[in-house]
Chains A and B, each alone.
Chain A
Amino acid sequence: MELINLPHSPSLQLLIAPSDFQRKASLQFIAELAQTGPVRVLDGGNRFDVLTLNRELRRRDLLLYTALERIQVARAFTCYQMATLLEEPAPQGIPTLVLNLLSTFQDENASLTERLRLLDICLHALVKNARHTPVLVVLHPQPAEEPFLVRIRESVDRVWVFEPHSPVTQLALL
């Protein structure tokens, strides 16, 4: 699986991919960035896989603990927390990865209106941050009409969508 060559200049980009791929791709992206400087990870899905990340770092022959110190992680468990987290100004020039932005927005305990309002706050903050740092938002595939996805797509500069390969026919072993 090739590494996605995501640009490292200030921009707001969206990656839509199924679980395994996005996990691998985002961890590779983080490992890449940790080679040269600090990275910020905002985890909305509570699935930031540190241990697999460590293997990626090790593979790049990095001083493991130094690299780990460069990666700052903050978790949000509710959509309110996600909004608060994003409203904190991102330190200049430190690339940010937002994992599973929408997981916390599935919580139906808050009304749809309320959740859309919070999402707007999140997007506004992301656009602001993207002016001086590369920001990548990673999502699971959603139905195209999903109101959350529509709004996100409208705010980003570029969208990457993972297309699964069509199955290769196995040659029978006689």
Chain B
Amino acid sequence: MPSSNEIHGWLLDIYPDPVQGVVLWFLDEDEVRRHRLHQSFPTSFYAHGTSGELRSLWRHLKALPEPPRLSRVEKQDLFVEKPLPVLEIMTKTPPAQERLFNQLKRSFPSLVYYNADISVDLRYAAQTGVFPLARCRVLTTNDGEIENLETLDSPWIVDSHEPPLLVMALVPDSNPDHKEPTNLKVHIKGKHYSFPFQDERGLLVKLQALLRRYDPDLLLTVWGDNWLIDKLHQLMDEHHITLSLSREESRGVERREERFYHSYGGVIYRGPQARLFGRIHISTENTVMYHDYGLEGVYEMARVTSLRIQTAARVSPGTGISSMQILTALRQGVLVPWHKQQVEWSKSAYNLLQSDRGGLVYQPTVGLHANVAEIDFISMYPSIMEHFNISPETIGKNTQNSTFVPELELNIDQDHRGLVPDTLQPLLEKRIRLKQELAGMDPRDVRWNPFQARSSAHKWLLVTCFGYLGYKNARFGRIEAHEAVTAYGREALLRAKEAAEELGFQVLHMYVDGLWVQKDGASQIADFQPLLEEILDRTGLPTSLDGIYRWIAFLSSRPDPRVPVANRYFGLFQNGTWKVRGIELRRDDTSKWVKKVQKELLDLLADASDAGELVDQLPRVHALLQARLSALRQRKIPLVELLISQKISRSLEEYKVPSPAARAAAQLAAIGKNLIPGQRVRFLLTRGKPGVFAWDLEERPDPKTIDIDRYAELLCRAAYTILQPLGVEERTLRWWMFTNAGYGAPPGFLPDSCSQKTPLLGDISWKMDQMDPAHFTAHR
């Protein structure tokens, strides 16, 4: 067809078509028109085997009713020196390739297949450099066939401008797992509608009218994947009305069933999925990390991985990283294996001992410390992979310019850029640039939220790529590479410690990629800058000052106060923000009420201008605790704030002594709501047996049955976590909370390792030593 049309716009969606090859939807730069374009896309995959096996395969393929194009070629396998002779099998369209491969893997299971299970979005991206939401210039024929596509954009631009997508939100008014929704709320372009489910026909007609009128690019639903889309289909069938959910209406909705799959001895549940054609469907509860980074984060995932937006929203970061590696391989003409082939090399038992370790995790110097700087390596493991060229195919290769990993007695080839570092490099650079921009940005800047979201998406990808390097099923992974990364990580952390100590700092704590340091007289950023430079010098890896704490408390183990715990601390930065790890406030199984009060305690402590004045806050702490306890005893706390949420770890029959969560799950099972191991159950603590009341039962418990004493005990524990580093003894706290003792009791003793001497209140002698602390519990 003659006459080329030129279109400028952003890529919205891409999917395979059984006849046309590949279909692409563009949003025109005039922000009004959307274009459906197509392109023929012959798709190849490869097979390798003995000449006998390949000959049988050839014969089989030639005899098919629609034989694919066959040729003998040589292609590069990442782990093999010389190019590999393979049979190239080219089918007319991507769906044809998938079908053919499914047949062949059953009839010829012993062959090694390459490029066999790669989705069309990645294949197309490899050929053209395009990615979702990329700005493009496309030349097409009159019937929308693409003649030429030029990408005018890059996923690595920090300040990209998103195309203006039109979003329609569909929100049922209750969680279908708990209560059947009565209304469907629809939001579009600032308008809000509410359609009752009772008027089924009306709902369909009105929703269809909105879809037709606005033609949204994105349908953002809640419970769409696992309930709403199904419900709408049910209504469509009953009333014979079709909704134009997909823009390409003839394709309908692509349903993927729920799946259980096995991973690391456990079972992982993947819910059903509903994908549309030409329109994007994102179901928020099924979108990994949605609550962390929202739509902006999803767009960024799609941009940097080149996965179709609907896929990027639903896959784990591991799949994201794997897709990026596959894309790099495709672009370099490297074969992408279907199954992981690589096996660990033999190592002596001695080497196993040395190499099979993770990051260094220290035990901190327990107690309260002032003016402490937290220095972190920026994306340590990915930086190491990039800096030292660690890749499954570079490790173990002794070439002219290889470096030696001392602990492992392995070489790393420096002559050729590894696939994994190659893939990571632009992502790391973008992350660092983004962090730098954010460091200098006002939170009220309109770019703040999108930048934070993008940063979050990068973080998840980077955090996963290290694990992926050693993952048993990773196509491009090798456990030795993984071990080399941790070896360099340990070395880097130790060199950082040495640098700190030589510059006169005390190292209070170290954790894999971060250290906490302190020096008399050092309290400003400028005081720590020389250390950052020294660390960069000695390790080659960049660090950043996460912040300077006005004071920080490292906590000990609850059962044994002599033993420090690596990941339990709370600290107040100089800028007034908190960093809190491992305490009740951060735990999933703590009730909202306890979290609230613990946070209030921290807020009181934040009022102290420095560590020396913390003890001055204790009278207010005492008053606060008494007030909150009083409200609890007067039953003024809403039940929902007392909910405890815990996971059940096994199936109910496997419990010898059922935990509270198991008992609550049993209550739910009795009314037909069965939970599987790994799921959470919410419950309240009640007096007597069974001691729990599951929340998702049909009724609510009588507020009078709530076990006030147990909640008071939980609060006491949470309060002790905060007050213990300040020198408050447990029995003193119990006196404050559970007796009519006034504040005047002496606080107690500080642990020896505390570098901040907080003045004690003064010695008031009491008959304390004669009183048995066991008498002072929550029970009255």
Q: Do chains A and B touch in the complex (CB under 8 A)?
A: yes
State the A residues within 8 Å of B (CB).
Answer: 40-41, 48, 50, 53, 65, 68-78, 80-81, 84-85, 106-109, 113-114, 117
The 9 A-B residue pairs with the shortest CB-CB distance in the complex, in nearest-first order? A77-B472, A68-B350, A71-B349, A72-B346, A74-B346, A68-B349, A84-B343, A81-B343, A69-B348
Question: B341 within 8 Å of A by Cβ?
Answer: yes
Given A48-B352, A68-B353, A109-B262, verify A80-B340 contact (CB < 8 Å).
Answer: yes
Q: Which residues of B contact A48 (CB under 8 A)?
A: 352
Measured between C-beta atoms, what is the minimum distance from B463 to chain A in Å? Answer: 21
Question: B473 within 8 Å of A by Cβ?
Answer: yes
Q: Which residues of B contact A40 (CB under 8 A)?
A: 346
Alpha-carbon distance between A40 and B349 when the two chains are bound, in angstroms: 10
Question: B339 within 8 Å of A by Cβ?
Answer: yes
Evaluate contact between A73 and B348: CB separation under 8 angstroms. Answer: yes
Q: Which residues of B contact A71 (CB under 8 A)?
A: 348-349
Evaluate contact between A74 and B261: CB separation under 8 angstroms. Answer: no
Alpha-carbon distance between A53 and B348 when the two chains are bound, in angstroms: 13
Sort chain B's interface into a size bin. 20 to 34
Q: Which residues of B contact A113 (CB under 8 A)?
A: 109
Question: B615 within 8 Å of A by Cβ?
Answer: no
Given A78-B340, A78-B472, A81-B343, verify A72-B109 contact (CB < 8 Å).
Answer: no
Least CB separation from A74: chain B residue:
B346
Measured between C-beta atoms, what is the minimum distance from B257 to chain A in Å? Answer: 16
Q: Mark B320-352, 1 if CB is under 8 A from A, else 0.
A: 000000000000000000011111111111101
Q: Which residues of B contact A53 (CB under 8 A)?
A: 349
Q: Which residues of A contact B479 (CB under 8 A)?
A: 75, 77
Evaluate contact between A80 and B341: CB separation under 8 angstroms. Answer: yes
Alpha-carbon distance between A6 and B339 when the two chains are bound, in angstroms: 37
Q: Which residues of B contact A69 (CB under 8 A)?
A: 348-350
Alpha-carbon distance between A147 and B26 when the two chains are bound, in angstroms: 54
Measured between C-beta atoms, what is the minimum distance from B250 to chain A in Å? Answer: 34
Measured between C-beta atoms, what is the minimum distance from B114 to chain A in Å? Answer: 15
Given A50-B353, A81-B472, verify A68-B262 contact (CB < 8 Å).
Answer: no
Measured between C-beta atoms, what is the minimum distance from B411 to chain A in Å? Answer: 19
Given A75-B479, A109-B261, A109-B262, verify A85-B348 contact (CB < 8 Å).
Answer: no
Given A78-B472, A107-B262, A114-B109, verify A73-B349 contact (CB < 8 Å).
Answer: yes
Q: Which residues of A contact B109 (CB under 8 A)?
A: 113-114, 117
Least CB separation from B261: chain A residue:
A109
Q: Which residues of A contact B262 (CB under 8 A)?
A: 106-109
Alpha-carbon distance between A142 and B352 when the two chains are bound, in angstroms: 29
Alpha-carbon distance between A73 and B348 when the two chains are bound, in angstroms: 6
Which of A75, A85, A106, A108 has most B Cβ within 10 Å?
A: A75
Q: Which residues of A contact B349 (CB under 8 A)?
A: 41, 50, 53, 68-69, 71-73
Tell me which residues from 349 to 386 in chain B have a Cβ below 8 Å from any Cβ of chain A: 349-350, 352-353
Q: Which residues of B contact A50 (CB under 8 A)?
A: 349, 352-353
Main secondary structure of the interface of B (DSSP, over half): loop
Given contacts A68-B350, A72-B349, 13 further A-B pairs with CB under 8 A are: A50-B352, A65-B350, A68-B353, A71-B349, A72-B348, A73-B347, A74-B343, A75-B479, A78-B472, A80-B340, A81-B344, A81-B472, A107-B262
Q: Which residues of A contact B347 (CB under 8 A)?
A: 72-74
Q: Mark B104-133, 1 if CB is under 8 A from A, else 0.
A: 000001100000000000000000000000
Evaluate contact between A68 and B348: CB separation under 8 angstroms. Answer: yes
Alpha-carbon distance between A145 and B109 when the two chains are bound, in angstroms: 26
Q: Which residues of B contact A70 (CB under 8 A)?
A: 348
Which of B110, B261, B341, B349 has most A Cβ within 10 Å?
A: B349
From A65, A74, A106, A108, give the contact of B344 (CB < 8 A): A74
Given A50-B353, A117-B109, verify A73-B346 contact (CB < 8 Å).
Answer: yes
Alpha-carbon distance between A40 and B262 when the two chains are bound, in angstroms: 30
Alpha-carbon distance between A11 and B340 when the two chains are bound, in angstroms: 31
Measured between C-beta atoms, what is the minimum distance from B90 to chain A in Å? Answer: 26
Chosen A-B contacts, 20 in total, with CB atoms closer than 8 Å, are A40-B346, A69-B350, A71-B348, A71-B349, A72-B347, A72-B348, A73-B347, A73-B349, A74-B345, A78-B340, A78-B472, A80-B339, A80-B340, A80-B341, A81-B340, A81-B472, A85-B344, A108-B262, A114-B109, A117-B109
Alpha-carbon distance between A95 and B345 when the two chains are bound, in angstroms: 17
Least CB separation from A121: chain B residue:
B110
Which of B261, B342, B350, B473 has most A Cβ within 10 Å?
A: B350
Q: Which residues of B contact A114 (CB under 8 A)?
A: 109
Evaluate contact between A75 and B350: CB separation under 8 angstroms. Answer: no
Alpha-carbon distance between A148 and B212 when the two chains are bound, in angstroms: 58
Least CB separation from B110: chain A residue:
A117
Alpha-carbon distance between A106 and B343 when the two chains are bound, in angstroms: 18
Given A107-B262, A109-B262, A114-B109, verify A78-B350 contact (CB < 8 Å).
Answer: no
Least CB separation from B472: chain A residue:
A77
Q: Which residues of A contact B352 (CB under 8 A)?
A: 48, 50, 73
Given A107-B262, A109-B262, verify A78-B473 contact (CB < 8 Å).
Answer: yes
Q: Which residues of B contact A73 (CB under 8 A)?
A: 346-349, 352
Measured between C-beta atoms, what is the minimum distance from A67 to chain B in Å? Answer: 8
Alpha-carbon distance between A53 and B109 when the two chains are bound, in angstroms: 39
Q: Which residues of B contact A75 (CB under 8 A)?
A: 344, 479
Alpha-carbon distance between A53 and B352 when the two chains are bound, in angstroms: 12
Alpha-carbon distance between A113 and B106 when the two chains are bound, in angstroms: 10
Q: Mark B245-287, 1 if CB is under 8 A from A, else 0.
A: 0000000000000000110000000000000000000000000
Measured between C-beta atoms, what is the minimum distance from A112 to chain B in Å? Answer: 13
Q: Which residues of B contact A81 (CB under 8 A)?
A: 340, 342-344, 472
Which of A68, A85, A113, A117 has most B Cβ within 10 Å?
A: A68
Q: Which residues of B contact A109 (CB under 8 A)?
A: 261-262
Q: Mark B460-482, 1 if CB is under 8 A from A, else 0.
A: 00000000000011000001000
Measured between C-beta atoms, what is the minimum distance from A116 to chain B in Å? Answer: 11
Alpha-carbon distance between A76 and B353 when the two chains are bound, in angstroms: 17
Alpha-carbon distance between A84 and B337 when the two chains are bound, in angstroms: 15
Alpha-carbon distance between A81 and B341 when the two chains are bound, in angstroms: 7
Least CB separation from B347: chain A residue:
A73
Q: Which residues of B contact A76 (CB under 8 A)?
A: 343-344
Evaluate contact between B343 and A85: CB separation under 8 angstroms. Answer: yes
Least CB separation from A78: chain B residue:
B472
Q: Which residues of A contact B348 (CB under 8 A)?
A: 68-73
Q: Which residues of A contact B261 (CB under 8 A)?
A: 108-109
Alpha-carbon distance between A84 and B343 when the two chains are bound, in angstroms: 7
Tell me which residues from 222 to 248 in chain B have a Cβ below 8 Å from any Cβ of chain A: none
Measured between C-beta atoms, what is the minimum distance from A58 to chain B in Å? Answer: 13
Least CB separation from A53: chain B residue:
B349
Tell me which residues from 433 to 472 in chain B have a Cβ below 8 Å from any Cβ of chain A: 472
Q: Which residues of A contact B472 (CB under 8 A)?
A: 77-78, 81
Alpha-carbon distance between A43 and B100 when the two chains are bound, in angstroms: 36
Q: Which residues of A contact B340 (CB under 8 A)?
A: 78, 80-81
Measured between C-beta atoms, what is the minimum distance from A172 to chain B in Å? Answer: 26
Q: Which residues of B contact A106 (CB under 8 A)?
A: 262
Q: Which residues of B contact A85 (CB under 8 A)?
A: 343-344
Alpha-carbon distance between A40 and B346 when the two chains are bound, in angstroms: 8
Which of A68, A73, A85, A117 has most B Cβ within 10 Å?
A: A73
Alpha-carbon distance between A81 and B470 when the two chains are bound, in angstroms: 13
Alpha-carbon distance between A114 and B107 when the two chains are bound, in angstroms: 11
Alpha-carbon distance between A74 and B480 when the two chains are bound, in angstroms: 11
Q: Which residues of B contact A65 (CB under 8 A)?
A: 350
Q: Which residues of B contact A78 (CB under 8 A)?
A: 340, 472-473
Measured between C-beta atoms, what is the minimum distance from A129 to chain B in Å? Answer: 14
Which of B261, B341, B353 has most A Cβ within 10 Å?
A: B353
Measured between C-beta atoms, what is the minimum distance from A64 to chain B in Å? Answer: 9
Alpha-carbon distance between A117 and B110 when the two chains are bound, in angstroms: 9
Alpha-carbon distance between A50 and B479 when the two chains are bound, in angstroms: 18
Which of A50, A53, A113 has most B Cβ within 10 Å?
A: A50
Alpha-carbon distance between A104 and B343 when the two chains are bound, in angstroms: 13
Measured between C-beta atoms, what is the minimum distance from B477 to chain A in Å? Answer: 10
Q: Which residues of B contact A108 (CB under 8 A)?
A: 261-262
Alpha-carbon distance between A94 and B262 when the two chains are bound, in angstroms: 35
